[in-house]
């Protein structure tokens, strides 16, 4: 049984979808999550990002705001 395709599969990207894609990639949202939010496959998100010259590689940011430094030592 094949995986179900999103409803927007094969459809053109709207301006609002492109804006949301840019916003989410800038805020370091994983490609898979962006795809879920936009109802697109991760591959479609990757392909559109590449065509716009955007990177989907995560930036190394500390999720806790500590900047990678350990405290209390």
Whole-angstrom distance, CA of residue 62 vs CA of residue 68:
6
Q: How far is CA 49 from CA 6, 24, 72, in A?
A: 18, 11, 41
Two tokens, residue 9:
């599969």
Sequence-ordered alpha helix ranges (H) in the chain: 15-26, 31-38, 42-51
Q: 66 pLDDT exceeds 80?
A: no
Hey, where are the domains in the chain? Answer: 16-51
pTM assigned to the model: 0.71
Tens digit of pLDDT for each residue in 15-64? 999 999 999 999 989 999 999 999 999 999 999 999 999 998 877 765 55
**Whole-angstrom distance, CA of residue 71 vs CA of residue 73:** 6
Q: Which residue has the higher pLDDT, 72 or 4?
A: 4
């Amino acid at each position: 049984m094949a995986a179900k395709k999103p409803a927007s599969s094969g459809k053109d990207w709207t301006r609002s979808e492109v804006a949301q894609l840019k916003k989410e990639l800038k805020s370091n949202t994983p490609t898979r999550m962006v795809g879920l939010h936009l109802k697109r496959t991760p591959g479609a998100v990757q392909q559109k990002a590449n065509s716009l010259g955007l990177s989907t590689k995560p930036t190394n940011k500390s999720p806790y705001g500590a900047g990678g430094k350990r405290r209390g030592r």
